A and B are shown apart, each in its own frame.
Chain A
């Protein structure tokens, strides 16, 4: 590893120096889990913690990519640099994928300060959220002011990805009751901001009303009697009022609903203001640290589990392989619990001894 160590530090140095190619290569190594990627991410960690990380999720066709494009160009107009990671599904059969989000990035072509990267869900369970989190660190360390994670909100995997963001926005398109059904199934809990995109379509108002109702029901069952809360979009005062009239002493964030038309850019400024308000709330309440701490805890757990699982695979191989063990169980020579005790027992003793020494 010593020979490789130097190229890794060179790569990290080039990334910190603002070389786009180095950033791209680091993300590739993270995606491929190439030898040395862990060392790279370790080195980058000290340089992270500056970017606002925004997650954008929603069902296919809701307009995520188009909205992300507009968000990125608006941030650029404000003089901020942007990194985007767009996650698309891959085929479980061939592993192949067509990553189509880049097509929508029409407003930012030729602007290298928008770093757009497509990633595919390579079928590694839980691995994608780790890879995404590591890729965010790379963009953060590179010095991006805003990092946007875009993913289809369909299952646990996607929820895990979007949880790597500080602020999560969930996109809903009007007139699709099914979307709202989907939200009920769990995505609702993770949304800090709900965006009704294609707000020029029929049924937008109804969708906004339904969302607001659900938010109020969730936060405070008694609160939905509180009328006169129609349009939390148009100004910051309203947002402040929403936060202030919260019964829990302003500690909780009441998700807001924003209407946008991503194709024209309508509402994007308001959305950005809302995202900023949430970012500010995170800092003011200290929630940003709580979230980061939880995230790191989850990350450590996941890595420890992954490494331990890899160690255990070695133990299983040493014992003749999983098939041979299963055959013995099948032949009633032994049972799964005894096999597990045989395999893990020595490890347990080893660990206990180690801990006692310490």
Chain B
């Protein structure tokens, strides 16, 4: 094998705002923190539909999909995204994170769906970054 094929792997993340909530300060802060951690971050912009998030995650081939939801609609939106990723064979090797306001009772449900972790308000940034570094899917 040629030395030219030395791998230069960079963790790619999509930070997604989905649904109707219009607050993306948190998403911005995460985007910047991830960038400073050396990740490549694609920010979706506000008010995205689940299909748009799926399209972006598939095309950009991200390792990590961070979904920010503050509106309480996670029980509707997250399953749609998960189904969409499955449709394009992208579910298995994408680490899905949910950030924002998720009641304790719903957390289990999120994890059962295949979400890697749920980060509520006040989660230290280092914790999230460390989690991504440890759990970003290994790819052949």
Task: Give me the interface of A with B, judged by CB distance under 8 Å.
Answer: 1, 4, 7, 19-21, 24-25, 27-28, 31-38, 90-91, 94-100, 102-103, 109-112, 115-118, 120, 122, 124, 303, 306-307, 310-311, 313-314
Contact = CB atoms under 8 A, between A and B. Distances in A.
Given A25-B61, A98-B31, A110-B55, A313 B5 contact: no
A122 B37 contact: no
Given A33-B5, A109-B52, A96 B58 contact: no
Contacts of B3: 307, 310-311, 313-314
B59 interface: yes
A110 B61 contact: no
A4 B55 CA distance: 28
Given A94-B35, A116-B59, A310-B3, 8 more contacts: A32-B8, A33-B4, A36-B5, A38-B2, A98-B41, A98-B43, A118-B60, A306-B4
A33 B60 contact: no
Given A33-B6, A110-B49, A120-B40, A115 B59 contact: yes
Contacts of A103: 43-45
Contact of B43 (A100, A306, A307): A100
B83 interface: no
B81 to A, nearest CB: 13
B9 interface: yes
Contacts of A95: 10, 38
A342 B39 CA distance: 42
B78 to A, nearest CB: 18
A350 to B, nearest CB: 18
A102 B42 contact: yes
B21 interface: no
Contacts of A112: 55
15 contacts: A21-B88, A27-B61, A32-B10, A33-B5, A96-B34, A97-B40, A99-B43, A100-B42, A102-B56, A109-B48, A116-B56, A116-B59, A116-B60, A310-B2, A310-B3
Contact of B7 (A1, A34, A99, A314): A34
A31 B61 CA distance: 11
Contacts of B49: 109-110
Interface string B58-96: 111100000000000000000000000000111000000
Nearest to B32: A98
A264 B32 CA distance: 31
Contact of B90 (A21, A36, A118, A303): A21
Contacts of A32: 7-10
A38 B3 CA distance: 11
B36 interface: yes
A16 B106 CA distance: 42
Contacts of B32: 98
A35 B8 CA distance: 10
A221 B12 CA distance: 49
Contact of A117 (B31, B35, B60): B60
Contacts of B89: 19, 21
Contact of B10 (A38, A122, A311): A122
A38 B4 contact: yes
A96 B42 contact: no
B138 interface: no
Given A91-B35, A110-B49, A35 B1 contact: yes
Nearest to B42: A99
Contacts of B8: 31-33, 122, 124
Interface string B1-30: 111111111101000000000000000000
Q: Which 5 A-B pairs have the closest CB atoms?
A: A24-B61, A96-B35, A103-B45, A310-B3, A109-B52
Given A1-B1, A97-B35, A35 B7 contact: yes
Contacts of A116: 56, 59-60
A35 B4 CA distance: 9
